[in-house]
Structures are given as structure tokens and as C-alpha cells.
Structure 1
Amino acid sequence: MKPIAAAAILSLGLAGAAAGVSAQQARPAAAATATKPPLDRSTLHVQVILDKLGFGPGVLDGRGGISLVNALKGFQQSRGLPITGKADAATLRALYPYRAARPTVTMTLDQRVLQGPFLQSIPKDYADQAKLDGMAYTSPMEKLAEMFHTTPAVIQELNPAGIRLAPGQKIVLPNALPTSRDYPSDATPTWRQTLAQLNVDAGVPQAAKIVVDKSDKVLRVYNDGGQLIGQYSATIGSASDPLPLGNWKVLHVSPNPDWKMNPKILKKVSNDKKPQIIPPGPNNPVGVVWIDLSREHYGIHGTPDPEKIGRTESNGCVRLTNWDAARVALMVKSGTPVIFQA
């Protein structure tokens, strides 16, 4: 394969990522805050392509980090490339055919997108959460951010200061739009609506095996030929609730689940607390989907805090962003093997 010319890489929008996402460093120091580098469109372009290919880079934020490194490693493994975790020249060549997936899209807001219901805030106490009708989003901005696999802060960076979220307003968002919304015919209308709202691509390959790797903090999906077809950063267990290593299997998938908070099995919750049933919604502690496993009380599920995936601990389960968990839910079926390994 001939090397891609510099002009071609520039047209792809990935030139800054070629040297390990160094375009961020090339910007003036004054452009970055003391704690966070500025959003870089070249990095965002890499993230968008990986997200569409099923190698989840976490939130689409135009910045480097462990989730992007893991996603690049997964993509490199799937393509038989040297595993560097960087958007190096060989990786850029492999990404080049997907360059049509631009880093951002411009959307005209309508009432449907901005529609609630919304909560003023999420109570911290489980007993107060249980009294709610649902664990909904807290604002149109939070809803938009999850729809486009990002955060409210990134949306604010991509748009003029003070932009109002109102019908008819044009807004720039990370390009998380799927290629297909042809979801399974046996899916309930509510689940189909959730998948569409999260911009989950319907055209996913089927999983023959799931491997959750504790050391790498990733969930890998393999087909029946042993090829890696998807990889997602995950929050996996904790010191008090370690991942139960071994061979398990998927029992069933529960879309838009409630969550039964049982103090007897949650080591971080006092036994003095009463059990509670937390209603469904994107801000439910297990997110928008629960993939139940043959190990009792354990599952693969979503989260109300996508930016924390891979950076915080869980109650022993495997936690993904809501959009990644929903994608994995489309890839598995009852009986799919799930291996937890160190």
C-alpha cells in the first residue's frame, strides 16, 4: 500500500492525530485551560470514525485519553496493524476509507428533540429516586449530549457562547448519526425509540463471544471466526466488589429497566437502608439497558455518567456508556458466552 500523501491526510482531517494526537500541543498555550486541553477537530474526527466502527472511544470530546488509546488499540488489532494506541501513519491509512464520516454535523433543533419530560435534578438518596415517575434527563442539553455521544461542555465548545436551545436554532454536534435505524422487528416501540434517540446503529454484527478484561478495562466482542468486531471502555468492579472471574453467559436483555436497590448485596450501601425500586430512564443507575448474566446479580449495563466510564468503580458489574451498552445489547442473544478475565 502506498503511503498517503500529507495533503490526503489533511483532507481526511486527521493530520493532527498522526503523531499521537499532537495537534492539541501545537496550539498556543493560552488556548488551553490549566486542567483541560482544547478540543481538537482532528482528534474528534478519529473518535467519530472509531465510534461508528464499533470501537468506542468514550465520549466524543476531541481530546486524547485512555478511552481513545484503548479504542485505537482495538481497531488496530481488528485490522492486523501494530498495536500502538496512537493514530500513527498505518492507522490513518486504515481509517482513510471512512473519511466521509465528518467530525461534526449541523442540526436544526425542533420541538421533538427538545421535548422532555425533564427533572430539575437527580436526588442522591435512593428512597427519593424511587418516588420519581422516571429517571429522566435534567435538561435538553443533557439529552442532546447523550444523543450525540458527548457532554454538554463539548456542545458548548462547538457553538457560539450563549447559544439558545430553541426550535429552529442551528447547532453543531459531534457526528454520532447512525447509518441505519432499522432495529429488530421484535423490539418494543419504547426500546426502538431509545435506540434511535441514542443514535445507535442498527447494522451491528452479531457476537459469538464477549470478553471482559479487568486489566485493560475494556469489553471486547468477537465473531464466530474469532475476529474482534467491537471494543468498548468499561468500568469494571471495585476493590470491595471485584469482577467475578470465570465463564458466564447472557441470560436475557432487559431494555429500559428499573433497578432493584438491595442493600444486602451492595457493599457500599448501609444495611440500615430499605430496598428500593428505582424507575427506568437514562439516569437510572444501570442506564438504559441491563444485559443479565448467568452469574447472579451481575450484568453488563449503561450509566448516567458516561464521562466517568473507565475512571471510576462500579458495584462489581460491567458498566458502559448508555450508547455502547445499547449497541452491545443488539449484538448479543440468550446464551452468548461472556468471559471475565484478569
Structure 2
Amino acid sequence: MSPRHIPRALRWCFALLVACLPLHAALAEDTALDADTVNAAAHDSGDAALLRAQVLLDRAHFSPGEIDARGGTNTTRALAAFQRHRGLTPSGALDAETWQALTADAPAALVTHTIGADELAGPMRPLPEDMMEKSKLDALGFESALEALGERFHAAPALLQRLNPGVEFAAGQRILVPNVADAAPLATPDRVVVSKSDSVVRLVDAEGAVFAQFPASTGSDRDPLPIGDWTIDGVAIDPTFHYNPELFWDADPAHAKAVLPPGPNNPVGTVWIDLSKPHYGIHGTPEPQNIGKTQSHGCIRMTNWSARRVAEVVRPGMTAVLEE
């Protein structure tokens, strides 16, 4: 339908909505989130409640992906999985019953942290986009202190800035961060299940119960997820990436085979979980904000921190079920 076929009243309402969007975004961005407000938030208290819920979901191993106090499909799926785990109606909504289950005896969602010099060990530098140029470097580390801290605390850099307005993220600085550092360890699963339709990786016990879930990007129309039962062949931490342009439909024709150095901005992040299907694996990413929202080249892509959690509990020979 073209704009001229939309009734005038609807066109006026749409124009008003569009005009208000920047204002709404600005107001949301300026809303302060402090420790007292977030740690005491009730389930219906807006961004503070959503932030508290995201942190507690992460600690419970039902990850919302990058913690951002904004929500979205990753958070909705995490809530639904947590609800199933607790025997609640899996609505994906942050209702009072779910809030009670999530927050009962829970620790503070936000805590203070003093930035250590070791956390900002470099080199931190802008990285080239081109694969050939990346292969010439000795490491693919973080580009900034804010990126490094975001990964350490599973948080969007913009959230850390919102929690710490005007702060320079430098060694010795005390900052407010999501309390994700001391979550309980995961149990060893019976199998790993990757769901294409839900864009998640699940850890499943011998009785078939899901006890952990993480958002994932799971292939594309050009590079579909290889549906079936495979096995985990091994785990590599801080892997190099063997780039073969022949395996990528969108590769630069001028590119040649190359080995890219390790680091959080390596194309497979800081973890590679090798599958028995050649060239396929479960791995990390240099772009945590896109997980569960964009497509991949057929592999199963997770945030680096989620991939590390899974890597700690899987074993060679374990089944990985890739399903629709």
C-alpha cells in the first residue's frame, strides 16, 4: 500500500509516532540506573526491573545475551526457558510469579568493581576490516577498554556508560557493573541441542530437561544449519582461524587462504567447539550484540562468554543435536 492510500488520520498518527521516537529514545537513554534502584526493583518498574531480570537470568544460565536493559527476543526466549525450568507457564513475560522465582534469595544485580590494570592489558587498537590485513597482526584483541569491560561483565558498552555517566574507563576507576562474575557452575549435560527456530543452544540432562540456554545465530539460507545428530570432537580456547575464501560465498575474490591470530575479535571469538560435521562448530563472536539477531555462515555462533560456559562442560564424544 502506498502512503497516499493510507487514511489521513492514520498518516497523521504515524507521523506523530515517528516524530516522538527520537524523544522517547533520548529520554530512555538519559534515565539513570543506580544500584539502589535496580537492586530493589519490582517486576513492573521499567528498565530497572528489566536490567535486574537480565542479570539474574544470566546468573541462572538462561542467558539474555548481551545485557542492555532494553530487552528483545533474546530476553523473551530466556524468560520462557527459565519459566519452563521452574514449571511456570512459558509466556516469556516478566510477570509477578516469574519475578518471585527469579529474585527469591538472589544476590544484588549490580555491584561495584575496581578496574584492574590487567583487565586493560593491550594492545587495544582499532582493527582492520579486511581479512588479509587481520592476518598480518599478532593478535585480534579488544579495540577499547569499554569493549573489554563489556565482555567481562556480559554487558553492552552503552549500558556500562549509562550505569557510569561521565566516567573514564581506566585502571583504578570504580564502576557499577552487572553481577555476573560468581554465577554457580554448570552441570555436565547429557547432550547439546541447537534449535534453529528458537535461535538458541540448550544444555539437556539425561532425563531430557533443559537446565541452561544461550542465544545463538544458527546459519542462513545460503549456509543452512546442518540438521542432524553430530558429535563434539574437541574444544579449542583462543583459537586461530584458518580462513579459506572458497568456503565463503561473500568472500573478496582477491583473498587467499590465511591464518588469523587469536583474540576476542577473531572471527570465531575465543572458543571453538569442533563438531563431527567438517568445517562446522559452536563458537564465539567479535560481535555479541548481533547474536540471535543476525545470520551466520552455517556454524553456531554465540557470545564469547556463553561459548566459554558451554566449552567448560562439554566433552569429546558428546552428542550435539542440530534441529529445526
Give, as a single letter, the amino acid of the residue that structure 1 aligns with 2:188.
Answer: Q
Aligned length, in residue pairs: 290
Aligned to 1:214: 196
- Kindly provide the amino acid, as one letter, of the partner of residue 297 in structure 1: H
Match of 1:73, SS state, is: helix
Contiguous gaps of at least 5 residues in structure 2: 1-21, 34-46
Give the alignment's TM-score, normalised by structure 2: 0.85
Residue 33 and residue 141 in structure 1: after superposition, are their counterparts in 2 closer, same or farther (change >3 A)? same
1 CA distance for matches of 2:247 and 2:129? 19
| 1:113 Cα deviation from its structure 2 partner | 2.3
The letter of the residue matching 1:78 is H
| Alignment CA distance shift 1:84-1:264 (3 Å) | same
State which structure, 1 or 2, has the greater radius of gyration over its C-alpha atoms: 2
Counterpart residue number, 2:230: 248
Residue matched to 1:147? 152
Q: SS of the counterpart of 2:104?
A: helix
Query: Post-superposition shift, 1:32?
Result: 3.3
- Which of 233, 258, 262 does residue 276 from structure 1 map onto? 258
For 1:166, the equivalent position in structure 2 comes to: 170
The match for 2:129 among 124, 147, 153 is: 124
Asked if structure 2 preserves the Cα contact closer than 8 Å seen for 1:250 and 1:291, the reply is yes
Question: CA shift at 1:262, angstroms?
Answer: 0.7
Pick closer, same or farther for the CA change 1:37–1:81 going to 2, 3 Å: farther
* Structure 1 unaligned blocks of 5 or more: 1-28, 180-200
Structure 1 CA distance for aligned equivalents of residues 253 and 25 of structure 2: 46
Greater than 3 Å deviation, 4+ residue runs? 29-32, 34-39
State the one-letter code of the partner of 2:158.
A
Instruction: State the partner residue of 1:88.
Output: 95
Q: CA RMSD in A?
A: 2.0
Partner residue, 2:287: 305
Match of 2:119 in 1: 113
AA in 1 matched with 2:116: D
2:109 equivalent in structure 1: 103
Deviations 1:192-221 (A, max 9, x none): xxxxxxxxx6x2110111111111111111
- Give the letter for the 2:171 counterpart: P
Q: CA deviation at 1:124?
A: 0.9
Question: Paired residue for 2:83?
Answer: 76
1:133 aligns with 2:115: no
Alpha-carbon offset, residue 284 of structure 1: 0.3
Residues 254 and 290, structure 1, Cα contact 8 Å, conserved in 2: yes
Deviation of residue 225 (structure 1)? 2.1
Tell me the residue number matched to 1:175.
Answer: 179
Q: For 1:149 and 1:70, locate their aligned partners in 2 and report how far apart those are by CA, in whole Å.
A: 17
Alignment of 1:188-267 (within 5 A): 203-267=185-249
Percent identical among aligned pairs is 41
Deviation digits for residues 259-286 of structure 1 (CA, Å, limit 9, x no counterpart): 1111121222145420111100000000
Q: Contact between 2:63 and 2:78, CA under 8 Å: does it hold in 1?
A: yes
| Structure 2 CA distance for aligned equivalents of residues 247 and 136 of structure 1 | 34
Query: Which deviations, in whole Å up to 9, do the C-alpha atoms of 1:22-51 show, x marking residues without a partner?
Result: xxxxxxx95633897967221111111110
Q: Which amino acid aligns with 1:154?
A: L
Structural mapping, 1:14-93, within 5 Å: 32-33=25-26, 40-93=47-100
Secondary structure, in 3 states, of the residue corresponding to 2:295? coil
